[in-house]
Amino acid sequence: MTLTRRHLLAASTAALALAALPAAALSTAQAQAHVEGLIAEINRIIASGESEAAMIRDFGALFDRYADVPTIARYTLGVDARAASAAQLRDFTTAFRNYIAAKYGRRFREFIGGRVEMVTARPVPNGIEVETRAVLQGKAPFRVDWHVSDASGRVAFFNIIIDGVNMLLSERTEIQAMLDQRGGSLDRLTHDLAG
C-alpha cells in the first residue's frame, strides 16, 4: 500500500485524537487510600493530647495536603468568584483555608477518645465518595463522607458530608451571608476571615 498525503493526515488526526483523551480516571482504590491516609492523620492528631491551637494548626496542614482548597474556596464564593481578580482569589483562598481549618479542627476535637473507620467507596458524578463512620465515646456512630477527585491535577477531597451536613453547601450559604453583610466586598470579607 502506498502512503498518500490523505493517509498521513488521517493517521496524524487519529494520533492527535488519542493524545487528547483524558488520562485514566481516579479509581475507588486511590480515593480510598487517600482518605485512609487522612483518617490516620486525624486519628493521630486527636490522640496527641495537643492544645486546641496546636491541633488547629495540624488540621490546617492536613487541609493543605488532603483537600482541594482552591476549588472549595471558589465554590463558596459562587458567582462572586468570577468578578474577583487573581490576587483577590489568592488572598481569599488563604483566609478561607485558615477559617475552615479552625472551624473543622474544632469539630474534629469532638473525636477525642473515638475513631474514624473506613466503610466503602463508590463513584459519584464528580469523583469518588468514600464513606467512613465516626465512632465517638458516648454517642451513636455517624456517617462521614469524603468526596474525592483528581480534577485539580492531584488526588484531593473537595467536600465532606458529616452526619448529613454538606460542607460545600453549608459553607457557601455562610460565606454568601457574610459577603452580603459586608455589602458584597470580597476584600472586607477576606480581611475579616483572616482576622
Find the mean pLDDT for residues 3-15.
Answer: 36
For 26-194, CATH number out of 3.40.50.1820, 3.40.50.300, 3.30.460.10, 3.10.450.710 equals 3.10.450.710
How many residues appear in the chain?
A: 195
Q: Which residue has the higher pLDDT, 193 or 53?
A: 193
How many other C-beta atoms lie within 10 A of the C-beta of residue 127? 23
3-state secondary structure 142-160: EEEEEEEECCCCCCEEEEE
Domain ranges of the chain: 26-194
Q: Which residues contact 194 (CB under 8 A, 6 or more apart)?
A: 91, 94, 95, 98
Neighbours of 31 (CB within 10 A): 25
Task: Check residue 122 and give its pLDDT.
Answer: 95
Spatial contact of 118 and 94, defined as CB atoms under 8 Å apart: no
pLDDT band at 4 (very low <50, low <70, confident <90, very high): very low
Nearest one of 88, 87, 89 to 75, comparing CA atoms: 89
pLDDT band of 10, cuts 50, 70, 90: very low
Residues 106, 7: Cα–Cα separation, whole Å: 64
- What is the rounded CA–CA span in Å between residue 171 and residue 67? 15
Q: What percent of the chain has pLDDT over 70?
A: 87
| pLDDT of 22 strictly over 70 | no
Residue 49 near residue 29 (C-beta atoms within 8 A): no
Indicate the pLDDT class of residue 25, thresholds 50, 70 and 90.
Answer: confident
| pTM for the full predicted model | 0.80
Q: What is the pLDDT of residues 98-140, one digit of tens each?
A: 999 888 877 776 777 778 889 999 999 889 999 999 888 888 9
Mean pLDDT of 39-43: 87
Q: C-alpha cell of 49?
A: 493530647
**Per-residue pLDDT band at 18 (split at 50, 70, 90):** very low
As a whole number, mean pLDDT of residues 3-9 equals 37
- Lowest average pLDDT, out of 4-13, 26-35, 65-74, 89-98, goes to 4-13
At residue 71, the pLDDT reads: 94
Please, what is the end-to-end C-alpha distance for the chain in angstroms?
Answer: 73
